[in-house]
Homo-oligomer: A and B are copies of this chain.
């Protein structure tokens, strides 16, 4: 009796474990696609479209400015980015990984960004980014941390 229960318990545990791994792989693909869609939709340069990818507790950690946390600060930061004259921005994930429990994932990738220099010509930048994603109560994935920095040497 006890051994039979133990077997049933072990089977249940193994089944839960297998499902969890499968979910994690599927979740990684969901996050990867969400990030690519985010980059594509950023071409609209619409602040609402951009910030819809953030969780309610998100922080945006941009270079050379303080951390932006909370809806107002994040909208200001993203609005400033999207308002750059002649902005071109795109990014793509290189690696995505999700915890076995399917509640937290992260990715890192590379970005390209350019905009008009007020003094003429273009300012060209490229670099890397990290995002932490969290599964929301409704099952959707949102970005809770968004950080990037440049590969280009700082001007002296």
Chain A contacts to B: CB under 8 angstroms: 5, 8-9, 12-13, 16, 20, 59, 61-67, 97-101, 103-106, 108, 128, 130, 132, 145, 147-156
Q: Is the CB of A151 within 8 A of B5?
A: no
Interface SS of A by simple majority: mixed
Question: For residue A63, which residue of chain B has the nearest CB?
Answer: B149
Contact present for B104 and A149 (CB under 8 Å): no
Beyond A12-B12, A97-B104, A106-B106, is A61–B150 a contact (Cβ under 8 Å)?
no
Within 8 Å by CB of A5, from B8, B61, B145, lies B8
- Neighbouring B residues of A67 by C-beta, 8 Å: 128, 151
Q: A130-B145, A145-B108, A145-B130 are in contact. Are A63 and B150 (CB under 8 A)?
A: yes
